[in-house]
Amino acid sequence: MSASVTLRDIRRDRLFLSTYARHPNWPRVSRRFRKKHPACAVCGAIARSNNSAVHHVLPFQWYPEKELDEDNLITLCRTHHWSFGHLCRWVSYNPDVVEDARIWRAKIAARPKWKQII
């Protein structure tokens, strides 16, 4: 049995997750949070609405009382939303996403730079 995720898996997961209704105030809370935290917490890329997500640390589907709680939110670019926020599976979540993002942001900031050889 293959451990790789297929397009069919992704579609099934997204269909499952789309069945949950959002709070009517979610768009306002999301915009306000993105304005305060415009960069991806992992890589620092400045977020635009089409390439980033305001991600719930604890999924609002399971913790509806935390959907609008800013302490439960983190800004992630599209790539890191999938990998750090959902651990490469849309129906999964990473309760340690804030700490993981902090660690990787520091690693990225301290990464070695190429030196020009003359």
Question: pLDDT tens track of the chain, all 118 residues?
Answer: 445 666 676 556 555 555 567 889 999 999 999 999 999 999 998 866 667 899 999 999 889 999 999 999 999 998 899 999 999 988 899 999 999 999 999 999 998 888 777 6
Q: What is the count of structural domains for the chain? A: 1
In a domain, 117, yes or no: no
In a domain, 50, yes or no: yes
Identify the pLDDT of residue 2: 44
* Torsion 86-56-45-52 (CA) sign: positive
In a domain, 1, yes or no: no
* Torsion 106-103-5-78 (CA) sign: negative
What does residue 56 show for φ and ψ, rounded to 5 degrees? Answer: -85, 125
**Residue span of the structural domain in which 48 resides:** 7-109
